[in-house]
Amino acid sequence: MTTALERQLHDCRETWAATLTDLARNDRDIVAVVNDSVGSSKLNAFQTEFSDRVINVGIAEQDMVGVGAGLANGGKIPFVSAAACFLTARALEQIKVDAAYSESNIKLIGQSPGMAYGELGPTHHSIEDLAWLRAIPGLTVIVPADRRETAEVIRWAAEHPGPVFVRVSRMPVPDVMPEDYRFVPGHAVTLRDGRDVTIAATGTVVSRALEAAELAGAEGIDVRVLAVPTIKPFDNDAIVRAARETAGIVTLEEASVVGGLGGVVAETVVRRHPAPVRILGVPDEFAPTGSASWLLDHYGVNATEALRACRELVATE
């Protein structure tokens, strides 16, 4: 059997850039704002075709978000693109005030999130972004799982009249969403049904959740796999159903275990239907240097540890 991790892999940055370029051909209000990041955002072709619709502020992330908000106030639809670690950490005040509090029609594109820049170390890891961004009122936070979902999310964001943050993966991932997939904010996607235990995953590691489910199936454990693209708004109902119908929930994310997907799942079940939860992600520490795939395995954000957690929940039911 071909596992999720053995399929052809794709760079979602290519998809995001191609989708934005296609949208811009039909909407002159779409502009890109970057921090000397045209290349890393894969916007070279966009810049070639729309040279007057790329605003490069240089390495000045706070200014970048402020400029984006100003463009939105002028009726434009700015897609503000930068490495997620710098966009969210250096410009957090501007995201809070200029984007969310001001209800600006601004689209924040966090490139290469999680531990995609693994060899560059903790300064370039973006594992805290989900925790601090989901605490900001009015900001939609989205983590696409593959290129199909990335394209759907960018198209949705262009039409949505409000601030949005989208993680765009640098680490190549396989296709996991069905061909007829349509993105709906606040809606988790059941990629595999199951009655014994649930794995809820987001972003780059959804494929690892599917691999864990395949391994579990070989042991007679029936695993439900939920892909969770929107950290905010969150699909509380899907999580409550999983808590009621299965032995517990394992969460899988390329992010800190503090406050991300695992945090919102735990908050949901505590409030609405208590159930065992196992959170797999980066522990409360600065991650070391190393390739993204090595770091995920180093912290057990993989099929092997997800399977172990599933076994544990089923055994304690």
User: Structural domains in the chain?
Assistant: 4-174 (3.40.50.970), 189-315 (3.40.50.920)
Taking CA atoms, 207 is separated from 82, 201, 212, in Å, by 25, 9, 9
* HSE, side-chain direction, 13 A CA sphere, residue 177: 26
Angle between helices 236-245 and 261-272 (to 10 degrees): 70
| pLDDT on residue 7 | 72
pLDDT at 316: 83
> Can you tell me which residue has the tokens 């009655």?
195
Residue 1: predicted pLDDT:
38
The secondary structure of residue 126, as a DSSP letter, is B
What is the per-residue pLDDT for 4?
46
Q: Which residues of the chain are under the pLDDT cut of 70?
A: 1-6, 317
Backbone angles phi, psi at 90, to 5 degrees: -75, -25
pLDDT tens figures, 282-294: 999 999 999 999 9
Please report the pLDDT score of residue 5 as a whole number.
Answer: 46
Task: Give the pLDDT of residue 162.
Answer: 97
Half-sphere exposure of 19 (CA within 13 A, CB side): 20
* pLDDT tens column, 193-223: 999 999 999 999 999 999 999 999 999 999 9
Helix (DSSP H) and strand (DSSP E) numbers for the chain: 12, 14
pLDDT, one tens digit per residue, over 157-189 is 999 999 999 999 999 999 999 999 999 999 999
Catalytic residue set: 61
Side chain identity, residue 165: F
Cα distance between residue 245 and residue 263, in whole Å? 20
**pLDDT at residue 88, as a whole number:** 97
